[in-house]
Structure 1
Amino acid sequence: MSVLHESKVKNVGLTESNLLSLSFGRIIRKDIDAVGGLLPESFETYQIVEPNHLVFRFTDLQNDQRSLRSARVTERGIITSAYVSARPSGIDPRYAEHLMRSYDLTKVFYGLGGGVRQSLKFSDVARLPVVLPPAEEQRAIADYLDRETACIDTLIEEQQRLIDMLRERRFALRVNVALHGTAPTEEIESTLPWAAKLPADWRVVPLTSVAEIASGHTPSRSREDWWRDCHIPWVSLHDVGTMRSVKYLHDTTQRISDAGIANSSARLLPAQTVVLSRDATVGRTAIMGVPMATSQHFAVWTCGPDLDPEYLWVLFGDAMQPFFDSFQNGSTIRTIGMGDLKAFRIPLPPLDEQRRIVECLDEETAKIDSLIVETERFVQLAKERRSALITAAVTGQIDVREVT
């Protein structure tokens, strides 16, 4: 790439303080005073970049094949020396930006970083061939792509806002129905800190009066036979990501043996037990679809005849989330203690109303979830269209003179 030349101008003497960063394929400003852990002197090691420089992030190629790794600078500033900065010469900078984005999207850089290498230097890409049309056509391609991709980006942003709105509507719906029921009724002031009012015929009860609480337990890891050839699902922090998107857990990342249960404080809990994470990622919840055991990072409730497990799951997963947030403490490990968990109080509608609430929310949130999935698919197609358009334009598959 003789049209790009590496630039290595250090910020010696802190001559520049406009801190920039590469984020989602764009160069953005960052507040230099808000960067934690960096002393002012450390910014002397940063490199100065000028408008129209191209910046590349050639690190972690093996582990991250989704990020956009190139962008064009629009203002003078400083950027980490972990990035590669290149100055265009003999090529339109905007065309170069789109051309490098095409290389990025078609995974050219990953092919160069094969084997055990997880990073590239500029010298590793310096001899890449480039498509170099006449200067006038470069500008025409850049004008066309600037215009067309801006339209697509606007459309994507609108759809992303729609997704955010739908998720907010979903959450609000679930909280409202969980705390107010499926039909209008007389309400009274609530004694719960996370519910202002509740239907007058609902009770507020200690959770332990309608469900048995227990803490999970992690048997010794030194006993390999407890963790080998196992068949009992064992809920651990590896499963909290799954708990974001499911009501029922039917399998787990790890399993434990009968011997591990029999020779430790771990308990085999029945299906329909409600599990809640209380460490690190606080407030994730699910219902055991089959008998399971859990690590000490979870609390579990086996519901009695007056409490539907799915209603408790709705309370934990939505209505009580602000309450869980108020209990989080610690800078690295955030925990809700068993004493606090045992003190939980919940609204208790009549059992038939609990079931109506669950049925209503299943039906209504399914409609919203379907809209979210459709919108996310639309966004994905728009991104694919954007990528294909860039590649087609910079490789001459589109005659931009006929579409301008």
Structure 2
Amino acid sequence: MESWTGRLTDSPVVETETIGNAFCDGQILFGKLRPYLAKVWVSDRPGAYVGDFVLLDPDAGFDAHFLGYVMRTPEFIRRVSAESYGSKMPRAEWDQLRYLEVPAPPLDEQRRIADYLDHETAEIDALVDEMKLVLTLLAERTRSDVDSKFATCFEHATIAGLRNQLMEVDERAGDRARADDLLSVSIHRGVTRWVDETDDLPRAEDLSRYKTVRAGDLVLNRMRAFQGAIGVSKWDGIASPDYAVLRPGSGLDPLYAVRLIKSTRFLQEISKNLRGIGSDDSGVVRTPRVSVRDLIRIPVRLPSLVEQKEIVSELDEMETFNLERQRDAQRAIDLAMERRAALISAAVTGQIDVTEKRTPVAEELESTLAEA
């Protein structure tokens, strides 16, 4: 079930031995776990559900579709969230929902409002879906741009390529370790400082075995290497003993090395060299890791240092362009969802007359986006 839209996701049907709870056409399912997600669906068929939902059966004075729109307004969700309990995984129960007041215009008016919103939100949702497709295509284009730059690296490749230019460094911090110097590495953000991410820093006495990192070193999360968890450190610092610290030689640009290792072809080669229990797509006991010895022996052919820097510069420009387009698309999505929510709130509370002829909101959105 999607947040805010009232639509079911296109998830594949999964067989389960769990006994579900039955629902009928015209009933409403409200996601009570993390109610701020606004997962509300008006059923258009009989079926069964499994999970944390409140099942509502509107009485004769309410149109189910109208009530579904009311329950997806930011105002209603804020009130439900205020009544929910639990900090990490808040939930709302029927005992809290039953006392919340909702608009209750005459039934015929409810149906007119619901019909109007069905039409308007369908057009807005179509626009949002187009923008989401743009985001997907831009992400694929970015990946294609990167991969094309490294295609020749795997032609006439030898194991000497990286082996001669990347050296694993295993210097322990000892009593010099400071929590403020702790570094982390993730798939999407590369190397970051813990102090910039959280106030929950480890105690200094826990860090003596951590590895020393110099600015310019590559830091590799061996458990997530097959997903591209590597980056260049901008700082001197310390990293987890389970990470690998790699120092590039004079013939290898560190930014180029990271981009090469994160390329699709190289990640595929890493996956072939995973060691440990399980596989790259398993969720059992222990996530498989790659050894540095195996990683630096993956055959590649490195261009000259000048060419490496040129490739990094070209990719930076390409990614900057694609990122700007992605931000534009995301801003369009955010604006459309804001307008969608405002329209629903105004309609269900009687602030607009849905019988009046007006420019469709989707058209207004397209004009606004075109001007922007």
Return the letter of the residue paired with 1:399: D
Structure 1 portions without partners, runs of 5+: 1-21, 182-188, 193-202, 220-224
**Residue 324 (structure 1) shift:** 2.8
State the alpha-carbon separation in 1 of the partners of residues 256 and 10 from structure 2. 46
Return the letter of the residue paired with 2:331: R
Contact 2:171 2:212 in 1 (8 A): no
Partner of 1:294: 239
State the alpha-carbon separation in 1 of the partners of residues 212 and 127 from structure 2. 50
SS at match of 2:246: strand
- The 1:47–1:251 alpha-carbon spacing in structure 2 relative to 1, beyond 3 Å, is closer
Q: Where does 1:369-384 land on structure 2 (aligned, <5 Å)?
A: 369-384=323-338
State the alpha-carbon separation in 1 of the partners of residues 230 and 335 from structure 2. 32
Number of residue equivalences: 341
Equivalent position to 1:86, from 48, 52, 56: 56
Structure 2 portions without partners, runs of 5+: 359-372
129-138 or 316-325: bigger deviation: 316-325
State the alpha-carbon separation in 2 of the partners of residues 125 and 325 from structure 1. 49
State the alpha-carbon separation in 2 of the partners of residues 74 and 216 from structure 1. 63
Partner of 1:233: 182
Contact 2:270 2:295 in 1 (8 A): no
Equivalent position to 2:211, from 255, 267, 271: 267
Q: For each residue in 1:117-173, what CA deviation from the matched residue of structure 2 results, as whole angstroms up to 9, or x when unmatched?
A: 932221321122121111221111011100000000000000000110001001110
Instruction: Give me the CA root mean square deviation.
Output: 3.0
Is 1:208 equivalent to 2:146 in the alignment? no
Return the letter of the residue paired with 1:58: K
Partner of 1:318: 263
- The 1:257–1:88 alpha-carbon spacing in structure 2 relative to 1, beyond 3 Å, is closer
Partner of 1:166: 138
State the alpha-carbon separation in 2 of the partners of residues 305 and 387 from structure 1. 56
Return the letter of the residue paired with 2:272: S
Contact 2:183 2:193 in 1 (8 A): no
- The 1:113–1:348 alpha-carbon spacing in structure 2 relative to 1, beyond 3 Å, is same
More helix by share: 2
Return the letter of the residue paired with 2:182: P
Q: Where does 1:60-209 land on structure 2 (aligned, <5 Å)?
A: 60-61=34-35, 65=36, 67-80=37-50, 82-89=52-59, 90-102=61-73, 106-114=77-85, 118-180=90-152, 190-191=155-156, 205-209=160-164
Contact 1:103 1:109 in 2 (8 A): no
State the alpha-carbon separation in 1 of the partners of residues 8 and 105 from structure 2. 26
324-333 or 79-88: bigger deviation: 324-333
State the alpha-carbon separation in 2 of the partners of residues 177 and 270 from structure 1. 28
SS at match of 2:65: helix
State the alpha-carbon separation in 2 of the partners of residues 257 and 83 from structure 1. 41
Return the letter of the residue paired with 2:288: R
Return the letter of the residue paired with 1:314: R
Q: For each residue in 1:231-270, what CA deviation from the matched residue of structure 2 results, as whole angstroms up to 9, or x when unmatched?
A: 32233xxx42xx5135x64555576799877x54x43221
TM-score by length of 1: 0.75
State the alpha-carbon separation in 1 of the partners of residues 166 and 225 from structure 2. 23
Q: For each residue in 1:32-66, what CA deviation from the matched residue of structure 2 results, as whole angstroms up to 9, or x when unmatched?
A: 6x34xx43xx31xx2110111000111245xxx3x
Percent of aligned pairs sharing the same letter:
24
Partner of 2:32: 58
